[in-house]
Amino acid sequence: MPALSPLPPGHPPVAPARIGVLIINLGTPEATSYWPMRRYLKEFLSDRRVIETNRALWWVILNGIILTTRPKRSGHAYDKIWNRDLDESPLKTITRSQARKLATALGGALPGEAGWETAPVLVDWAMRYGLPPIADRLAALKQAGCERIVLFPLYPQYSATTTASVLDKAYEALQTMRWQPAIRTVPPYFDDPAHIAALARSLETALKGLAWQPDRILMSFHGLPKDYWMKGDPYHCHCLKTARLVREKMGLSEDRLQVVFQSRFGKAEWLQPYAQEVVEALPGQGVKNLLMITPGFAADCVETLEEVAIGLGETFREHGGENFAVVPSLNDTSESIHMLETIVRRELMGWR
C-alpha cells in the first residue's frame, strides 16, 4: 500500500478527535429596539414549522401587518425583563451558564474557554433564532475536533414547531460540511425521571418559601394551534404526561394542580384551557392564592418572566386575587444541571 501523502500546504490541521454536546434553545433578539426585534420576529415567524399558513397569504400578513406593529410591542415586553448588566435577554444569560456548568459536570469545557484544548468533551450552546446560530456553533465544534456531536434541543415536550425546527436547522448546516461529524439527538425528556424529579424539587422549594399556601397550582405550557395537534403533533400528550407524573411524584390531585396553555397567537383555536381565561376566572371561584409553574421552559424567558410573572400576575390581582407567585424555571440550578448531565451521559453511552 502506498504511503499517504502529507497534508497540502495551507491545509488546516486536523484537530484531535473528541466529543461535542450542543444545547439549543429557542432564541432571543439582540436588543429591544425596533430593528433588532423585527429581525428576530421575521426569522421566527418565517419558519415553516412554526407557521403552516399558505405562504403567499402569510407573507402579506407578516410583512404588511405583523412586522410593522409587533416589534414595538414585543420590544416593550423584553425591556421589562432585560439583563441590563450584560445587555442581553435572560434566556441568553441562562443558556450560556447552563452550557458552562454542564461542561464542568461532564469534565469538559466550552470551545475557546480555559482548558478547552485538552478537554475530551466540548459543550457549546446555540439558538434556533438569533445569535449564536446553530450552524456557527456546529462548525466551531467540528473545527475543534468533535467527530461525534450530541444535539440537545432544550424542549422537554416534543413539537414540530420546536424540536423538529431545531433539528431541521442543524441538518441544514450539516449538508454544507464535507466531513460531517456523527450525530446523535436527545429525545424529548417530558417523562424522564430526572426531569420529573427536578420539577418536583423546584415546586417543593417554592412552596416552602411562600408565606402563604396556594389554593391552586397552575402548570402552564406554551400553547399550540389545535390544528397542529390534530395533524399528529404529540405536544399536548407530552404536556399532560409531564403534569400527571409531577402530580404523582408530589401526591397532588388534578384539582390541586391544573394544566393551562399560554401565549396564544392569532384567531385560530389553540390548545385549551387558555391560561388567560383561567386566571381571570379563578378569583371568582374562591381561589385567592395562586402559584404557577412553567415546566415547558428550560430557562426563564419573556414568556415566563413577562407574560406569566408580570402579565398574569396583574390579571389575577385585577380580578380579585390576593397572592400570586411563579416557580422559576429550572434554569442553571444544581437540580437542572444534574438532570442535563444525567440525560447527556445516557446519550453518550458507547461514545465515552
Can you give the residue ranges of every domain in the chain?
18-189+334-347, 193-327
Q: Read off the pLDDT of residues 147-198 as tens digits, 9 standing for 90 and up.
A: 999 999 999 999 999 999 999 999 999 999 999 999 999 999 999 999 999 9
Q: What is the pLDDT of residue 234?
A: 98
278's CB contacts (< 8 A; 6+ apart) are 218, 258, 260
Instruction: Tell me which residue of 172, 171, 283, 274 sits closest to 222, measured CA to CA.
Output: 274
Q: How far apart are CA 279 and CA 254, in angstroms?
A: 16
Domain 18-189+334-347 sits in CATH at: 3.40.50.1400
Whether the CB-CB separation of 34 and 72 falls below 8 Å is answered with yes
pLDDT value at 256 more than 70: yes
Which CATH number fits the domain 193-327, given the four candidates 3.40.50.1400, 3.10.20.30, 3.40.50.1220, 3.40.50.1110?
A: 3.40.50.1400
Mean pLDDT within 49-60:
94
Q: Mean pLDDT for the chain?
A: 95
E strand segments, 50-179: 121-130, 146-153
Mean pLDDT within 265-282:
95
Q: What is the pLDDT of residue 74?
A: 97
Mean pLDDT within 232-257:
97
pLDDT value at 225 more than 60: yes
Mean pLDDT within 101-115:
95
Whether the full predicted model's pTM is greater than 0.85, yes or no, is: yes
Cα 259 off chain centre by: 19
Query: What percent of the chain shows pLDDT beyond 90?
Result: 93
pLDDT value at 205 more than 80: yes
Q: What is the pLDDT of residue 260?
A: 98
Strand partners, 225: 270
pLDDT value at 5 more than 80: no
- Burial of 102-138, coded b for 16+ CB within 10 Å and e otherwise, reads bbebbebbbbeeeebeebebbbbbbbbbbebbbbebb
Mean pLDDT within 287-302:
98
Mean pLDDT within 86-102:
98
Q: Say if 18-189+334-347 and 193-327 have the same CATH topology.
A: yes
Per-residue pLDDT band at 35 (split at 50, 70, 90): very high
pLDDT value at 15 more than 90: no
Instruction: Tell me which residue of 264, 261, 263, 278 sits closest to 316, measured CA to CA.
Output: 278
pLDDT value at 8 more than 70: no
Q: How far apart are CA 107 and CA 102, in angstroms?
A: 9
Q: Read off the pLDDT of residues 298-329 as tens digits, 9 standing for 90 and up.
A: 999 999 999 999 999 999 999 999 999 999 99
E strand segments, the chain: 18-28, 121-130, 146-153, 182-185, 216-222, 257-262, 289-293, 323-327
Instruction: Tell me which residue of 170, 197, 210, 148 sits closest to 351, measured CA to CA.
Output: 148
Q: What is the pLDDT of residue 1?
A: 46
Q: What is the pLDDT of residue 14?
A: 54
pLDDT value at 7 more than 70: no
Query: What percent of the chain shows pLDDT beyond 70?
Result: 95
pLDDT value at 2 more than 50: no
Q: At what angle do helices 193-209 and 334-347 cross, to 10 degrees?
A: 180
Whether the CB-CB separation of 307 and 72 falls below 8 Å is answered with no
Q: Read off the pLDDT of residues 120-132 as tens digits, 9 standing for 90 and up.
A: 999 999 999 999 9
DSSP 284: G
Strand partners, 182: 148
Q: What is the pLDDT of residue 4?
A: 46
Q: How far apart are CA 122 and CA 327, in angstroms?
A: 31
Residue 63 grid coordinates? 410583512
Q: How far apart are CA 313 and CA 307, in angstroms?
A: 9
Instruction: Tell me which residue of 347, 346, 340, 348 sits closest to 103, measured CA to CA.
Output: 340
Q: What is the pLDDT of residue 116?
A: 93
Q: How far apart are CA 272 and CA 225, in angstroms?
A: 10
Least confident of 5-19, 40-54, 196-210, 221-235: 5-19
DSSP 65: I
**Residue that is written with C-alpha cell 443558556 in the block:** 95
Q: How far apart are CA 35 and CA 151, in angstroms?
A: 30
pLDDT value at 36 more than 50: yes
